[in-house]
Structure 1
Amino acid sequence: MKRYMDEQTVAALSRGAMYLGSGGGGDVKLTELMAKRAIRENGPVPLLSPFHVPDEAWVIPVAIMGSTTIFSEHLPSGSELKKVVETIENEKHIAASAVTGLEIGGMNALTPVIAAALTNLPLLDADGMGRAFPELQMTTYHGFGVKASPAVIANRPSKTHLLLSDENTDIEKQARILVTSLGGWAAIACYPMQGWQMREAGILQTYTLTIRLGEALSAAMDAHDVMEKMQQVFQKSIYGKPVKLLEGKIVDLQRNIIEGTLKGSLVVEGSGAYIGEYLSVFFHNEYLLVQKHNATLVTVPDLICVLDEETGYPLSVEELENHGKVWVIAIPSPFLLQTAKMLDVVGPMQFGIAERFIPMEERIKPNDNEG
C-alpha cells in the first residue's frame, strides 16, 4: 500500500530526524515549515518503497549544503531544490522517477520532501548516510561506487552551477568553494542513479523508520520517556537498541570554530545512579567519540546523542551549555555503515580518531547503563 506524506507526517519526520543528526545536521524548524507549505500548495507526497522502483528508473538525491545559520537568515523559496533536480535531468537527458535524500539526520531529511512536492515526484524511502555526516562523499552512495557527478548547485532558481569530476572527493571540494562564494548555502542535487543502484548503495526505508520514531516521540515528556520509546522503535529496525551511557551535568565545555566547523569536547559528571562517573564526548560538527576514564565506549559511525534531561530533546553541538543537565546515549548504526567499504569513508580514522571501529555492542556490556 502506497503511503503519502502530509503535514502531520512531515512533523513526525522532523521530530525523528533531530535524533538522527547525532548533534549535527542543522535545525529542522525551517525546512519543516517549507515542507509543510510545499505540501499544502501541491498536495501530499507519495513515499515510494525502494523495492517498487524499476531497475532502470532514475532517482536523484537532493540536499541543502553549507551554513545552516546563513540558510536561516537568507530564506530560500524551495524552488532552488526543484531547479537542481530539473538541471540534472537536462544534463543527463533523463526523466527522474523519484527524488531521495543524502542524509536522514537533521534538516536534510526534509529537503527531499520539498523537492518531491515541487516536482510532483515521489520521495524514495532511503538515504545515503543513515544519520548526518559533514561531507558529500561520506555516503553509502560513494562507498558503493556511485558517481556524484554530474552535481548541480543553486541558491537562486535563475542560476545553476554544474560540477563535473570522476572523483567524488573533488565534487565535495568544488562544492564547498562554490557554496562559500554563493554566500554560504545552496541547494544541491548529485549522485543520480538508477533503481538497481539505489537498492545496492542506499540505506533503505529510513524515512519510514524516522517517521515512526517521530510519531512514537510525539507525546514523550522527558528523557526517560524518550529513551523508552526510542528503544522500542530502534530494536526492531536496521539500527540497534539505544543505550544510556550516563546522566548528569556538563562540567566542562570546549567549543571552537576551526575552518568553519565546530570542534571540541564536553565532560559530563554523573548524578543519581552515576555519581562518581565521568564521560568525555568529542565532536566535530557531530558527536564522534565517547570515552569513560580514557577508555573508548562509542565511536562514529555509531550515533551519539546528548539529550536535555527535562525535555528529552537532542542537543546539537551549538546548543550545549555548561551546567546543563543531560543524558548521553548511543545508538548502533545500520550495519551497512559498519562494512569495510564504509569504514574507509566514515570510520573513526576519517575524523582524525586514531583507532579502529569496534561496534558499541562489543564495547558495552549487556544491560550496562540501562535505565
Structure 2
Amino acid sequence: MKRYIDEKTVSSLARGAMYLGSGGGGDVKLMELMAKRIIKENGPIPLISPFRFPDEEWVIPVAVMGSPTIFSERLPSGNELKKVVETIEKEKNIAASAITGIEIGGMNAISPVIAAALTNLPLLDADGMGRAFPELQMTTYHGFGMKASPAVISNRPDKTYLLSSDENTEIEKQARKLVTDLGGWAAIACYPMQGWQMREAGILQTYTLTIRLGEALSADAMDAHDVMEKMQKVFQKSIYGKPVKLIEGKIVDLQRNIIEGMLKGSLVVEGSGSYIGEYLSVFFHNEYLWIKKNDTTLATVPDLICVLDEETGYPLSVEELENHVKVWVIAIPGPFLLQTTKMLDVVGPMQFGIAENFIPIEERLKLNGNEG
C-alpha cells in the first residue's frame, strides 16, 4: 500500500528527526511549518520504497547547509530547493523520478519533503547518514563510492552555483566556503544517482522509521522514562539497535565554543538516583560524539548519543544545553551500514580526532560489565 506524507505525517517526521539529530541537525520547527504550508498548497507527497524504485531511474538527494541560526533569521521560500534539483537535471541531462535525503537527523529530514512537494516528485524512503553529521562527505553515498559532483547550491530561487570535482571532500570545501560567502545558509543538491546505486549506497527506509518514532512520541505529557520506553519499542524492530540509558542526573559543567564554525565542547553529568556518585562526560562537535565515565569510553560515534530533558523527554541540542538541567544520557546503536570498515573510515571516532577504535555500544557495555 502506497504511503503519503501529509501535514500530520510531517509533524511525526519532525518529532522523530529531533532524536536522530544526536544533538545536532538544526531546529526542525521552521522546516516543519514550511513543509506543512507547501503540502497544504500542493497536496500530500508519495513516500516510495527504495525496493520498488526502478534501477535506471534517477533520484536526487537534497539538504540545507549552513547555520540553523542564520537560516531562522533569513527564511527561504522553499523554491531554492526546487531550483537546485532542476539545475542538476539540466546539468546531467536527466529527469529525476524522486527526491531523497542526505541526512535524516534534524531539519534536513524535512528539506527533501519540501523539494518533493515543489517538484511534484515522490520522496524515496532513504538517506545517506541515518542521523546527523556535520560534513557532506560524511555519508554512506560517499563511503560506497558515489560522486557528490555535480553539486548545485542556491539561497535565491533565481541564482544557482555549480560545483564540480572528482573528490567529494573538495565538493564539501567548495560548498562550505560558498555557503559562508552567500551569508550563512543555502540549499544544496548533490550525489545524483540511479535506483540500483541508491539501494547499494543508501540507508534504506529511514523515513518510515523516523515517522514511526514520531508517532510513538506524540503524547503531550511525557517524561524521559516514557520516551525511553517508547524509543526502545520502536528501535528494537529496526535497522538501529535498542537504546541504552547510561546515566540520569544533573549537568554540572558545560564547556562550549565555536571553533572554525563548529560548535565544540563537553558537558559533565553528575548522577542521581541509582547513579548517585557517578560522573559522565559527553564530548560534542556539532553533534554528540563520545561518552566517557572516568577513563572508560562508554559510547562513540557513529552510534547515536542523545541528552534528554528529564521532565519532558525532549532531546536537547548542543545549543540548548544549560548547567543544572536534569537529564538522561542515552545511546542508540547506529545502523549496521555505519559500522562497516568503509564507513568507519568516513565517520568513525578517529575522523573527529577521537583516539579510539569504534566498538558498538552493546559490546562496550558487556566489556564494562554492564548489560544496560
TM-score where L is the length of structure 2: 0.98
1:32 matched residue in structure 2: 32
1:260 matched residue in structure 2: 261
1:87 matched residue in structure 2: 87
Alignment of 1:73-152 (within 5 A): 73-152=73-152
Q: Which range moves more in the overlay, 142-151 or 219-228?
A: 219-228
Residue type of the partner of 2:51? F
1:293 shift after superposition: 1.2
Q: Following the alignment from structure 1 to structure 2, what is the Cα–Cα distance between the partners of residues 129 and 294?
A: 29
Q: Following the alignment from structure 1 to structure 2, what is the Cα–Cα distance between the partners of residues 88 and 186?
A: 15
1:284 matched residue in structure 2: 285
Q: Following the alignment from structure 2 to structure 1, what is the Cα–Cα distance between the partners of residues 11 and 295?
A: 39
2:343 matched residue in structure 1: 342
Counterpart contact for 2:31–2:111, Cα < 8 Å: yes
Query: What's the RMSD between the two structures over aligned residues?
Result: 1.0
Deviations 1:294-313 (A, max 9, x none): 10000000000000000000
Q: Following the alignment from structure 1 to structure 2, what is the Cα–Cα distance between the partners of residues 365 and 338?
A: 18
1:139 shift after superposition: 0.1
Q: Following the alignment from structure 2 to structure 1, what is the Cα–Cα distance between the partners of residues 324 and 302?
A: 28
1:166 matched residue in structure 2: 166
The reply on whether 1:8 has 2:33 as its aligned counterpart is: no
Residue type of the partner of 1:257? I
Q: Following the alignment from structure 2 to structure 1, what is the Cα–Cα distance between the partners of residues 256 and 344?
A: 26
1:355 shift after superposition: 1.2
Counterpart contact for 1:246–1:369, Cα < 8 Å: no
Deviations 1:18-69 (A, max 9, x none): 0000000000000000110110010000001001110000000000000110
The reply on whether 1:329 has 2:333 as its aligned counterpart is: no
Q: Which range moves more in the overlay, 215-224 or 289-298?
A: 215-224
Counterpart contact for 2:362–2:371, Cα < 8 Å: no
Counterpart contact for 1:245–1:369, Cα < 8 Å: no
1:228 shift after superposition: 0.1
Q: Following the alignment from structure 1 to structure 2, what is the Cα–Cα distance between the partners of residues 231 and 36?
A: 29
The reply on whether 1:44 has 2:44 as its aligned counterpart is: yes
Residue type of the partner of 1:236? K
Deviations 1:130-174 (A, max 9, x none): 000000000000000000000000000000000000000000000
1:260 shift after superposition: 1.1
1:231 matched residue in structure 2: 232
Residue type of the partner of 1:194? Q
Counterpart contact for 1:63–1:188, Cα < 8 Å: yes
Residue type of the partner of 1:335? F
Alignment of 1:188-267 (within 5 A): 188-219=188-219, 221-267=222-268
The reply on whether 1:351 has 2:332 as its aligned counterpart is: no
Q: Following the alignment from structure 2 to structure 1, what is the Cα–Cα distance between the partners of residues 85 and 174?
A: 19
2:365 matched residue in structure 1: 364
Counterpart contact for 1:80–1:156, Cα < 8 Å: yes
Counterpart contact for 1:244–1:369, Cα < 8 Å: no
1:368 shift after superposition: 3.9
Which segments of 5 or more consecutive residues in structure 2 lack a partner in the other structure?
Answer: none
Deviations 1:86-110 (A, max 9, x none): 0000000000000000000000000
Counterpart contact for 2:88–2:151, Cα < 8 Å: yes
Q: Following the alignment from structure 2 to structure 1, what is the Cα–Cα distance between the partners of residues 120 and 345?
A: 37
Q: Following the alignment from structure 2 to structure 1, what is the Cα–Cα distance between the partners of residues 366 and 197?
A: 37
Q: Following the alignment from structure 2 to structure 1, what is the Cα–Cα distance between the partners of residues 236 and 65?
A: 31
Residue type of the partner of 1:148? A
Segments of 4+ moved more than 2 angstroms? 365-370
Deviations 1:242-263 (A, max 9, x none): 0000000000000011111110
Give the secondary structure class of the aligned counterpart of 2:366: coil
2:305 matched residue in structure 1: 304
Q: Which range moves more in the overlay, 256-265 or 203-212?
A: 256-265
Q: Following the alignment from structure 2 to structure 1, what is the Cα–Cα distance between the partners of residues 20 and 337?
A: 16
Q: Following the alignment from structure 1 to structure 2, what is the Cα–Cα distance between the partners of residues 368 and 120?
A: 50
Give the secondary structure class of the aligned counterpart of 1:365: helix
Give the secondary structure class of the aligned counterpart of 1:131: coil
Q: Following the alignment from structure 1 to structure 2, what is the Cα–Cα distance between the partners of residues 224 and 338?
A: 28
2:17 matched residue in structure 1: 17
1:369 shift after superposition: 7.3
Q: Decide whether aligned partners of structure 1 residues 305 and 369 sit closer, same or farther in structure 2, where only a CA change above 3 A counts.
A: farther
2:59 matched residue in structure 1: 59
Residue type of the partner of 2:341? A
Q: Following the alignment from structure 1 to structure 2, what is the Cα–Cα distance between the partners of residues 62 and 368?
A: 40
Counterpart contact for 2:308–2:327, Cα < 8 Å: yes
Counterpart contact for 1:243–1:369, Cα < 8 Å: no
